[in-house]
Structure 1
Amino acid sequence: MVVIFFNLGLVLAFILLVSIVFINASTKFVLAILGVICILFLIKDIIQDLYFALYKYKNNVLIVIISFALDIARIAFFYKLIHHFAAGTARATGLSTFGWMLGYVISILVGGVLFFAGEANGLLFGMGQKNESSILMNVFMTGCLVAFCHFII
């Protein structure tokens, strides 16, 4: 019985060590490519909103401008959130590493869901799916991301 618990403890310690190595490696990778990803999302939003302004909503450019402003705010706050925890995890030492890793994983999960829900909502709105999406839902998703960012940082 003692051998089983000892082996289980070794397995859990190994899993913890491997997860620390992978999370620390991923933070350095995320910090290296985070700016490029944000620029790619910004280019996508510019192209998407220009297309919508020129072809879908010619008469109502104000909606496109509001949607673009919300997209930029969503990108900026998601970048701020992920950068904060990735940089904190990369420079953490000792037991504080676990707290930063937990915050990093939670920020990626919750912030990522809010970010991509807002992006999907913006796409549905741009494609004319007004039954499934609205500008108010876009504001709500961006507001949730901003509130989460300020709450967790």
Structure 2
Amino acid sequence: MTLTNLLIRFTGLYLLCLFVVGVALHYAGMSGGGVVNTAILMGCVVWVCHAFGRRNGRYLSGAQKAVVVVGVTAINFFLQILVVAMATSLQPPTAGAGLGIVVLGVGVVSLIHAVGVYAMIWAVGRALARQGIASP
């Protein structure tokens, strides 16, 4: 599996999980917060990185880990911006809330997510090495 395939799989899986969990929470009468979205993000990262290691018989190199962290963070950032743009287009604009503040807020959240994504990538590499499936 290539890094491009890993990121494509991540995007598809992430969108699917967000949709399915969102619908399930809606029908259960619950609201999904940031914790649910973060859990979905981390779960999808673990899933695709584990699949990469199993399929290739090796794990991501240092440079590849950086590419995956940046790619996943960029995908997450743009999806969050898209959701915020759709949500704010349905409501009248609020006084004083500019696009810059929204992008800054989403950017800060994305950077926090990037730390978690890196931790999950590291943890999957360790788990695969312990199982003898792939070398870190």
**TM-score, with structure 1 as normaliser:** 0.31
**Which is richer in helix?**
1
Greater relative contact order, per chain length (Cα 8 Å cut-off, separation 6+)? 2
